[in-house]
Amino acid sequence: MALADQTEHSSSSRTAVLATSVLVIFLLAMTITIANVSLPQIQGSLSATRDQVAWVVTSYLVANAVGLPATGWLADRFGTRRLIVWGTIGFSLATLACALAPNLEILVLLRAMQGLLGAPIMPLSMALVMASYPRSQHGVVTSIFGIGVTIGPVIAPWLGGILTEEYGWRSVFYFCLPFATAASLAVIAVIPHDEAPASRRLDLRGFIFFSIAIACFQLMVDRGERNDWFDSAEIIIECVAGIICLYLFVVHSLTWRQPYLDLRILANRDLAVGLGLVAAFGMLSYSPIVLLPNLLQNLRGFPEEAIGSLLAIRGLGMTLGFIVLLWGSRFDPRIWLFLGFSAQVWSGWAMASFDINVTYFQIAWTGFLSGLGLGFVWVPLTVITLGAVRPEQFPLVTSLFHLLRLFGSSVHISLSVALALRTSKISYVEITDRLQTGRPALWTYEAMAPSVQQSLPIMKEIGRQAAMIGYINAFMFFALTALIAMPLILAVRPPRT
């Protein structure tokens, strides 16, 4: 891929490419999550069940996961500019169509189109920006680029909740249109022309095996808790099909002359270590954002505005982390990786010490600390992974970077939600079991609540306490994930200049 030729850009054109890429990435990152808060209203408006309306999110994630690995081949076939320009325009039109969707089936199809069209844009924009700047400036550039990637999913739920409540679910898509229009015009004006290299044939078998494997695993982790995991025939089929196709893909890729994804690139030790940390980074990126709103709304009764402001505080922490790295990227990246993952362990441990009366301040400072740690980790991870390969390999590596980041996030969110729900059920049974006949606790219980009507508040409080135990276990899992990933930092070597 002809990205190595971009390193001779003038300072002004480099800045324009960077600003345009940040705008496009902000649009994509915001669109991923802004529709999530609208699902209850979409369900009522389009007369759908809870399981059916979940496909509005699932279809986007599956299509995005399938499209990401194809980035390298598509760029070789059509060129970077064409792919970014037409992908952005197509994504913008799909966003408009989502706002006008007449029924759930069309909305799900259009969300899948959004995911598929937007998949190559993020890794190609990142690869283009990094190829436009010398390696000595990658730390600073990555700090700026990372703002668009991580801030969008933080502010989107807050904005989405306000827009949905005031103007309906279609307004969240209309809200994205000005950004989509600006991004489309910017990429047409700024993205430099390039010539597509001699196109290589698509490894169709590798593409099919990998696409099915990724789609099955993404469906499994996204729908597992909803379908009670392996008690569901659907989840079992998805798991078995994913494992078989992944095995066939690995065998085929290691024996084919021009595979769809050249897995031999993972023989690069520095790249393999970097991608392992990327997967861990993805696992830590969004789990608290999913868990905290439900905790605060259902157990503490916080209004949506307060929940949105708490998520925004986490975003402020990430922004500060990026700003610090504008100056700190000159130092050994292992220092920032250690500080970033340590911040996740500290914040996760602190959240695991919450009780049912958790305060606004407790949520705020732990969220800010977690966001600050993510800001510290993003920049060195990007510098390490791209510093391990040549510029012509940037599209492949950036597509793997974002695939592992998003897939790791999906897996950890599903496991965290499953852990919270299951341990809360177990805790509920254990607490109520103490109220069985013949146990001392029953005497107080009968004295306090001699009738069913009077016992309902007590049972409701038991449910709240059991749910809080589930959330505490999920936060402890978050801290342990960061702690387990930290030994990988010891294997990191500073990138070559």
The domain boundary residue, chosen from 202, 220, 250: 202
Rounded to the nearest integer, the mean pLDDT of the chain is 80
Is 212 inside any structural domain? no
What residue numbers bound the domain in which 189 lies?
1-202
Q: Which residue has the higher pLDDT, 170 or 388?
A: 170
On whether both 297 and 195 belong to a single domain, the answer is: no
On whether both 400 and 490 belong to a single domain, the answer is: yes
Q: What is the CATH number of the domain that holds 369?
A: 1.20.1250.20
On whether both 40 and 183 belong to a single domain, the answer is: yes
Is 245 inside any structural domain? no
Residue labelled with tokens 């064409």: 82
On whether both 145 and 290 belong to a single domain, the answer is: no
Is 257 inside any structural domain? no
The CA distance from 289 to 492, in Å, is: 29
On whether both 193 and 292 belong to a single domain, the answer is: no
Lowest mean pLDDT among 102-106, 127-131, 332-336: 127-131
Asked if residue 314 has pLDDT above 80, the reply is yes
Is 471 inside any structural domain? yes
Is 209 inside any structural domain? no
pLDDT of residue 385: 85
Categorize the per-residue pLDDT at 198 as very low, low, confident or very high, splitting at 50, 70 and 90: low
pLDDT of residue 496: 58
pLDDT of residue 185: 92
Over the stretch 332-371, which tens digit does the pLDDT of each residue have? 888 889 999 999 999 999 999 988 888 888 889 998 999 8
SS3 label, residue 332? coil
The CA distance from 449 to 76, in Å, is: 72
Asked if residue 304 has pLDDT above 70, the reply is no
Choose among 83, 122, 33, 31: nearest CA to 382: 122
The domain boundary residue, chosen from 202, 232, 248: 202
Q: Are 414 and 222 in contact (CB under 8 A)?
A: yes
Asked if residue 484 has pLDDT above 90, the reply is yes
On whether both 184 and 301 belong to a single domain, the answer is: no
Give the number of other Cβ atoms within 10 Å of residue 11's Cβ. 7
Q: Angle formed by the axes of helices 360-387 and 121-132, to 10°?
A: 60
Alpha helices in 231-332 (DSSP H): 233-255, 269-285, 287-294, 304-328
What's the mean pLDDT in 206-216? 85
Instruction: State what percent of residues in the chain have pLDDT above 70.
Output: 89
The domain boundary residue, chosen from 156, 177, 202: 202
What's the mean pLDDT in 161-181? 83
On whether both 159 and 272 belong to a single domain, the answer is: no
SS3 label, residue 464? helix
The CA distance from 275 to 282, in Å, is: 10
Q: How many domains does the chain have?
A: 2
On whether both 182 and 308 belong to a single domain, the answer is: no
- Rounded-to-10 torsion of CA 6, 12, 14, 16: -120
Asked if residue 244 has pLDDT above 90, the reply is yes
Most confident option among 68-82, 442-456, 476-490: 476-490
Over the stretch 37-68, which tens digit does the pLDDT of each residue have? 677 778 778 877 766 776 777 778 778 877 88
